[in-house]
Structure 1
Amino acid sequence: MKTTIVTLSLALAAGPVFATPCDEVKAKIAEKVEKKGVKDYTIEAVAPDAVGDKRVVGTCEGGKKKLVYTREAAKK
Structure 2
Amino acid sequence: MTKQDSTTYYRRREQQERARANAATDRAAAAIHLELASSYAELASGGAPMTRQLAGEGAPIGTLDASDPAEGGGPAASGP
Same fold (TM over 0.5): no
The structure with more strand, counted as a fraction of residues: 1
Q: Which has the higher contact order (CA 8 A, sep 6+)?
A: 1
Q: TM-score, normalised by structure 2?
A: 0.27
* TM-score scaled by length of structure 1: 0.28
